[in-house]
């Protein structure tokens, strides 16, 4: 059964439309894709691929509204750089340049803004990519939450790199480059509304080196994604539906920090849906999985990498979880829970 | 995770399943109702239905506090939330519950100041920080959450916080169980009784189930091993011809419950004559309201409410799901007109609702009628 394109039936935009799950998909596909429809946008992948006289340019953009703007392990500045670098990286591209747009709230401390800009500079230098152009706007107090940042990026896809859901087939394996849900959990705790004391940092980091290292495996690498908003579950559901395959996850193999498990348990949240900002999820040919794992683990950012699942032919379009107890369940798309702004 | 891992052990699960295999009579179906939505959630989250012998059929009961709130009460909540002076504080689960005119999430999008809180004490804190506003807490839940509301009310009174009130929708666990047991054609063999609520009320409120209806009861905790263990205890009672209230959750639940929590409840709240339950209709003496001494903190006493009663949507079979007469996926609108993102019935809203649990975590064989989003 092939999913129909979701319809946007709501009269008003609610926070559920921003949560990364089904409502977000309805907003993107039922409104933006409908109005802006064109062949570059239609695949709704992390980056659009533009053909320029035989060179392939990856082009992507993302907005950041995280609250608070400073959190353990990062801030809105490095998050905005890493997020866009990662969208390029998982498209198989080497990042070339970024843009940054700032919507700043009247009253924001200049020292805070400088701290954000300095953090962007450090992240950009670490990723070896300049912030080449930008824009600033200031709005009245109360009209934005400190600062919102939008970054866009371009990157070059090397000849021969072919990634996409259509290349994924039964027997392929699913890998993640590290623990999942660290960023989302760290930010939720940092908001201070839960009065939880948890020792946990965001995982925000650029994954382009990991991605490029994996691409050395050539055609054995089928598809990559950074599991941000909506987490691993959402990324894999989108894959299962786009590729008409099933993805079977092994609960016992999922790399999860105890602090993430504990916090999510208390909040009643499934870490499979919680964002990471410095991880990549890759699908590789079954016989290349061990090699891919070794490549990821040889990099400091991939030390906790794991093979977490297998692609199957059936049931098409679904993600399943084999539980540690020996049962199984469906891992559906997130239904718009009003989770706080985490990216 | 410390203290939880041992209750999720695959080895223990195997041993319990093996024990169950030896206890069930092949071919004789046993319908076991887990009353609490937390159990429903755990059964699906851990895939327990795949593990137990096919003779054992888990029937999902009415113990999801979100699912039992009728549409009229949601509309009352929305009308409170839409008052310009009000900050309306609610548990996140209630945000998407549909009333006759939309949900709190939609009211928030239209401009109502609706805040998600994790505890009524957070709502009281909101009131302290916003002295110029009226903070109303949407109090829902069984005796599990009611003591937290009670303690918050006591603190509001002690500290003289006057801009805080509770919209009380607390319900009690005994009466809906009796309503289910009295429903015609019911075929239940045994009950997995809720754990959290029993930490407050103890195990005595279930005595009538064994005494008057002859059905075994095991008060049960929420980890998968607990649920398997309770199932073994129930099947053993049936095999041995016993009928008792047993306590599996001995690490927390006492026979007489939590006297301090019960005292706080008794000080602040009293039984209503009757209350409307989603899917179950009006049940006498099944819900709590604030005592007159707390009228100053009672949203129902302080604010005008529309109080309109709205019948459950005709297409919705939440009532039959709640008494275990049908499985969620046997409902006419399950997965088609009624989905977690656009629920018709409340069972589809909360992660503890039987329908949402099936929809989100369901096994493949229950998904055959499902239309993809």
Range of the domain at A216: 165-330
Across the interface, whether the CB atoms of B224 and A325 are under 8 A apart is answered yes
Beta carbons of A22 and B373 less than 8 Å apart: yes
pLDDT at A339 (0 to 100): 53
In a domain, A18, yes or no: no
Nearest to A338 among B4, B92, B364 (CB): B92
With an 8 Å Cβ cutoff, is B362 touching chain A?
yes
Cα of B284 to nearest chain A Cα, Å: 32
Residues A153 and A176 in one domain: no
CA distance B59 to chain A (A): 18
Residues A98 and A172 in one domain: no
Q: What is the DSSP string of B205-271?
A: GGHHHHHHH---EEE--SSHHHHHHHHHHHHHHHHTT---EEES-TTT--TT--HHHHHHHHHHEEE
Place of tokens 């907003």: A27
CB A204 within 8 A of CB A313: no
Look at residue A14 and tell me if it is in a domain: no
- Residue A340 is predicted with a pLDDT of 54
Closest residue in A to B369 (Cα) is A1
pLDDT of the residue at B367: 42
- Residues A127-146: pLDDT tens digits? 999 999 999 999 999 999 99
Label residues A1-39 b or e (16+ Cβ within 10 Å = b). eebeebebebeeebbbbbbbbbbbbbbbbbeebeeeeee
Is pLDDT larger for residue B156 or for residue A314?
A: B156
* Shared-domain flag, residues A182 and A126: no
Report the CATH number at residue A192.
Answer: 3.90.650.10
- The tokens describing A76, both together, are 């809105």
Hey, is the C-beta of B166 within 8 angstroms of any chain A C-beta? no
Please check whether residue A20 is in contact with residue A234, taking contact to mean a CB–CB distance below 8 angstroms: yes
The domain limits of chain B are: 71-172+257-302
Sheet holding B30-36, edge to edge: B56-63, B30-36, B190-193, B217-219, B245-247
Which residue's structure tokens are 């007489």?
A: B256
* Span A252-263, pLDDT tens digits: 999 999 999 989
Tokens of B146: 């009611």
pLDDT over 70 (residue A58) = yes
Residue A275 lies in a domain: yes
If asked whether residues A170 and A80 sit together in one domain, one would say no
- What pLDDT does B101 receive? 84
Q: Which of A132, A157, A182 is the last residue of a domain?
A: A157
Residues A303 and A200 in one domain: yes
Q: Report the CATH number that the domain containing residue A146 is assigned in CATH.
A: 3.30.1330.10
Residue of A nearest to B41 (CA): A268
pLDDT at A2 over 50: no
> Whose CA is closest to A64, among A179, A187, A211?
A187
Find, in chain B, the residue whose alpha carbon is nearest to that of A319: B361
Residue A237 included in any domain: yes
Mean pLDDT of residues grouped by 10 in chain B (373 residues)? 71 92 92 89 88 91 82 95 97 85 91 92 96 97 94 97 97 90 84 93 96 96 94 96 95 93 97 91 94 97 90 82 80 85 77 78 49 33
Q: Is A12 on the interface with B (CB under 8 A)?
A: yes
Q: Judged by CB atoms within 8 Å, which residues 95-154 of A form the interface with B?
A: none
- pLDDT for position B65: 83
Fold of B71-172+257-302: Rossmann fold (3.40.50)
Contact assignment for A329 to B110 by CB distance below 8 Å: no
CB pairs under 8 A between A and B: 105
* Mean of per-residue pLDDT scores for chain A: 92
Q: Contact at 8 Å (CB) between B206 and B219? A: yes
- Report the Cα B336 to chain-centroid distance in Å: 24
Choose the closest CB to A333 out of B351, B363, B373: B373
Asked if the structure places residue A337 within a domain, the reply is no
Do A182 and A102 belong together in one domain? no
A145 and A290 inside one domain: no
Q: What is the pLDDT of residue B369?
A: 38
Using an 8 Å Cβ cutoff, are B316 and B348 in contact?
A: no
- Map tokens 């709640």 to a residue: B322
* Best of A25, A319, A323, A333 to mutate (most B CBs within 10 Å, chain B): A323
**A196: pLDDT strictly greater than 80:** no
Q: Decide if A10 is inside a domain.
A: no
Residue in A265, A323, A330 closest to B46 by CB = A323
What are the tokens at B1?
């995770």
* A277, burial (CB in 10 Å: exposed 0-12, middle 13-18, buried 19+): buried
Asked if B15 reaches chain A (Cβ–Cβ under 8 Å), the answer is no
Q: Which residue of A has its CA nearest to B93?
A: A337
Q: Is the ipTM of this complex over 0.85?
A: no
- Residues A224-248 pLDDT 10s: 999 998 899 999 999 999 999 999 9
Q: Which residues from B are below 8 Å from A320, CB to CB?
A: 364
Report residue A227 CA to chain centroid gap: 3
Q: What is the pLDDT of residue A336?
A: 57
Option in A261, A268, A317 nearest B372 (CB): A317
């Amino acid at each position: 059964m092939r999913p129909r394109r979701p319809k946007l039936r709501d009269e008003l935009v609610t926070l559920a439309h921003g949560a990364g799950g089904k409502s977000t998909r309805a907003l993107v596909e039922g409104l933006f894709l409908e109005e802006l429809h064109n062949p570059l946008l239609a695949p709704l992948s992390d980056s659009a691929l533009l053909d320029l006289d035989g060179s392939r340019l990856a082009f992507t953009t993302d907005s950041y509204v995280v609250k608070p703007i400073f959190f353990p392990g990062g801030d809105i500045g490095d998050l905005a750089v890493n997020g866009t670098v990662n969208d390029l990286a998982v498209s198989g591209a080497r990042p070339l340049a970024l843009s940054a747009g700032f919507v700043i709230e009247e009253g924001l401390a200049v020292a805070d803004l400088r701290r954000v800009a300095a953090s962007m500079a450090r992240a950009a230098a670490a990723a070896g990519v300049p912030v080449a152009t930008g824009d600033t706007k200031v709005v009245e107090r109360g009209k934005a939450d400190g600062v919102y940042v939008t970054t866009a990026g371009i990157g070059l896809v090397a000849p021969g790199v072919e990634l996409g859901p259509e290349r994924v087939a039964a027997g392929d394996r699913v890998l993640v480059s590290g623990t999942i849900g660290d960023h989302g959990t760290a930010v939720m705790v940092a908001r201070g509304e839960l009065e939880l004391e948890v020792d946990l940092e965001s995982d925000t980091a650029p994954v382009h080196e990991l991605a490029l290292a994996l691409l050395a495996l050539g055609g054995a690498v089928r598809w990559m994604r950074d599991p941000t908003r909506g987490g691993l579950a959402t990324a894999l559901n989108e894959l299962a539906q786009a590729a008409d395959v099933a993805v079977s996850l092994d609960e016992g193999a999922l790399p999860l920090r105890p602090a993430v498990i504990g916090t999510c348990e208390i909040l009643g949240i499934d870490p499979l849906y919680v964002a990471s900002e410095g991880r990549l999820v890759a699908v590789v040919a079954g016989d290349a999985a061990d090699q891919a794992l070794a490549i990821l683990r040889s990099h400091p950012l991939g030390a906790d990498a794991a093979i977490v699942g297998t692609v199957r032919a059936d049931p098409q379009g679904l993600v399943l979880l084999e539980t540690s107890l020996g049962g199984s369940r469906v891992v559906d798309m997130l239904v718009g829970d009003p989770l706080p702004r985490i990216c | 995770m410390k203290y939880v891992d041992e209750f999720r052990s695959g080895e223990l699960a195997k041993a319990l399943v093996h024990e169950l295999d030896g206890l069930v009579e092949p071919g004789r179906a046993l319908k076991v109702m887990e009353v609490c939505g937390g159990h429903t959630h755990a059964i699906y989250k851990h895939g327990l239905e795949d593990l137990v012998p096919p003779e054992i059929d888990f029937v999902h009961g009415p113990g999801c506090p979100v699912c039992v709130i009728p549409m009229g009460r949601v509309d009352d909540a929305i009308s409170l939330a839409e008052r310009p002076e009000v900050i309306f504080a609610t548990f996140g689960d209630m945000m998407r519950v549909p009333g006759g005119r939309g949900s709190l999430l939609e009211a928030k999008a239209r401009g109502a100041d609706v805040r998600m809180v994790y505890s009524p004490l957070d709502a009281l804190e909101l009131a302290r920080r916003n002295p110029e506003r009226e903070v109303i807490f949407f109090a829902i839940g069984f005796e599990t959450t009611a003591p937290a509301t009670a303690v918050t009310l006591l603190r509001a009174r002690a500290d003289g916080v006057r801009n805080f009130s509770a919209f009380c929708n607390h319900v009690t666990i005994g009466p809906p169980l009796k309503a289910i047991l009295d429903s015609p054609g019911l075929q239940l063999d045994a009950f997995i009784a809720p754990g959290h609520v029993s930490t407050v009320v103890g195990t005595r409120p279930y005595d009538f189930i064994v005494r008057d209806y002859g059905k075994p009861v095991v008060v049960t905790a929420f980890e998968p091993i607990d649920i398997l263990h309770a199932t073994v205890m129930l099947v053993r009672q049936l095999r041995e011809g016993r009928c008792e209230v047993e306590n599996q959750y001995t690490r927390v639940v006492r026979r007489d419950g939590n006297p301090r929590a019960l005292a706080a409840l008794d000080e602040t709240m009293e039984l209503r004559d009757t209350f409307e339950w989603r899917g179950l209709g009006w049940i006498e003496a099944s819900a709590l309201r604030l005592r007159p001494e707390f009228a100053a903190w009672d949203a129902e006493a302080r604010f005008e409410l529309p109080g309109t009663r709205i019948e459950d949507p005709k297409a919705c079979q939440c009532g039959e799901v709640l008494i275990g007469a049908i499985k969620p996926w046997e409902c006419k609108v399950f997965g088609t007109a009624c989905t977690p993102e656009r629920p018709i019935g409340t069972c589809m809203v909360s992660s503890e609702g039987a329908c949402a649990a099936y929809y989100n975590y369901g096994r493949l064989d229950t998904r055959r009628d499902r239309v993809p989003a």
